[in-house]
A = this chain, B = another copy of it.
Amino acid sequence: MAKSIGVIGGGQLARMMITPAQQLGLALKVLAESADASARLAASAVGDYKDLETVKAFAKTVDVITFDHEHVPLEILELLEAEGKEVQPSSAALKFAQNKLAMRERLTELGLPVPNWARVSSVEEVARFLVEFGPEAILKTPTGGYDGKGVMVITDPDQAKSWFEKFDNLLIEEKVDFVRELAQLSARSVTGEWLSWPVVETIQRNGVCSEVHSPARDADQEKAANLSKQIAEGLGVTGVLAVEMFETSDGRLLVNELAMRPHNSGHFSIEGSRTSQFEQHLRAVSGLPLGVTDATKPYAVMLNLLGVDDSNTFIEHYPIALNVAGAHIHTYGKSARAGRKMGHITALSDDSIEDAKAIAQKAKQALHA
């Protein structure tokens, strides 16, 4: 087993790994972007994750490298691996989370359900796709996108022009007429052990996750779990894997995005599961047995706390908000900025999603969020 775990990236995901690392007494080190990063408490280094020497020096201090985000250049990870450093998920798996074209190609090879898509390298190819699958389509940059960035709904091929100045190839996909979006969280250990949480419904606003319901009402749990398992094994994923999916009106599940790390759709697991996604990620990447993923209560709702302006850090409203029984408020120690992911609230219920949501909403209102 790996005794010390190095996380590249000091955001809220790294921050929330600190709790299970402390509990289990595992050494967790973080390479943070800045001294005031969300995970600053565990930051053993501050530096640029795109700089080979910075990452190499950090990697020397730990047994295994893992991630808070998927933006570390693949070449750097390949170099570390070539020198014998353990990287989990490996560069071979991570490339499918970094590059949406590579992901679409691989999932198609594996025969897994994805929206109609094409690799396009010119406005003409975009035009042809729009004729076949339009009038609307989704254009995506192969790399660098997150939270709605690098994604554009287009109706006119010329809308692709500016992105072709930066990328030789783009991904274009049909605009799926989905009923709702689901996310299947699971974890695969370096030993091959695999366990999933319930498939959840995710609700986005302006391209950013706003709300998560666990479990997704009347979803085909088995189908979603099997799909995720095929992806985890087919792509050689280690650690937590989030599979974001579209559910169509005829009940199909189409894979939208992948993330190979703890994910916003799994924050409910801190209180809602006997093993949180953060603990599970540490177990999985360090070769420890996975923890059971049974729900602690039948229903969970998570609401994101997005910044409303540059002054409300939410903490100043705690004297009122912490009175809301059953609302688990998390803030990430970030300075306030409109639209920024500043925290989240989870509430559980024995009775219903509505009941859990009402509790979380009450706390959210009390935080003026």
Residue contact A1 to B292, C-beta cutoff 8 Å: no
Residue pair B19, A322 in contact (C-beta under 8 Å): no
When all copies of this chain in the complex are counted, the total is 2
Name A323's contact: one of B19, B274, B289 (CB within 8 Å).
B289
Residues of A342-359 at the interface with B, using a CB-CB cut-off of 8 Å, are 343
Proximity bits, A321-361, B CB within 8 Å = 1, else 0: 01101101111110000000001000000000000000000
Query: Quick check: is A82 within 8 A (CB to CB) of the other chain?
Result: no
CA distance A289 to B23 in the complex (A): 26
Of A22, A26, A287, A319, which is in contact with the most chain B CB atoms at under 10 Å from its CB? A22
A300 contacts partner chain B, Cβ-Cβ < 8 Å: no
Give residues 72-105 of A contacting B (CB, 8 Å): none
Given B24, B296, B315, B343, which contacts A329 in the complex, CB threshold below 8 Å? B24
Verify if A313 is at the interface (C-beta below 8 Å from B): yes
CA distance in complex: A19, B21 (Å)? 10
In the complex, which residues of chain B have a beta carbon less than 8 angstroms from the beta carbon of A330? 23-25
A296: chain B residues within 8 A (beta carbon): 296
Q: Mark A280-293, 1 if CB is under 8 A from B, else 0.
A: 00010001110110
Nearest CB in chain B to that of A296: its residue: B296
- Bound: A106/B176 CA distance, A: 73
Residues of B within 8 Å of A331, CB to CB, are: 23-25
Tell whether A167 is near chain B: CB-to-CB under 8 Å. Answer: no
Q: Which residue of B lies closest to A314 (CB)?
A: B25
* Chain B residue with Cβ nearest A283: B322
- Residue A42 at the chain B interface, CB threshold 8 Å: yes
Is A213 positioned at the interface, with any CB of B under 8 Å from its CB? no
Q: Are A23 and B18 in contact (CB under 8 A)?
A: no
A41 located at the interface, meaning its Cβ lies under 8 Å from any Cβ of chain B in the complex: yes
Q: Within 8 Å CB of A292, what residues of B?
A: 325-326
Question: Is A188 in contact with chain B by the CB < 8 A criterion?
Answer: no
Known contacts A26-B315, A313-B25; A288/B322 CB under 8 A: yes
A24 cross-chain contacts in B, Cβ below 8 A: 315, 318, 329-331
Cβ of A64 to closest chain B Cβ, rounded Å: 14
Say whether B23 contacts A19, CB under 8 Å: yes
Q: Say yes or no: A18-B1 contact (C-beta < 8 A), given A24-B318, A25-B331, A283-B322.
A: no
5 tightest Cβ-Cβ pairs between the two chains A and B: A25-B331, A292-B325, A289-B323, A289-B322, A19-B19
Q: A1-B319, A25-B315, A274-B325 are in contact. List 7 more A-B contacts (CB 8 A).
A: A18-B19, A19-B19, A24-B329, A24-B331, A26-B315, A288-B318, A289-B323
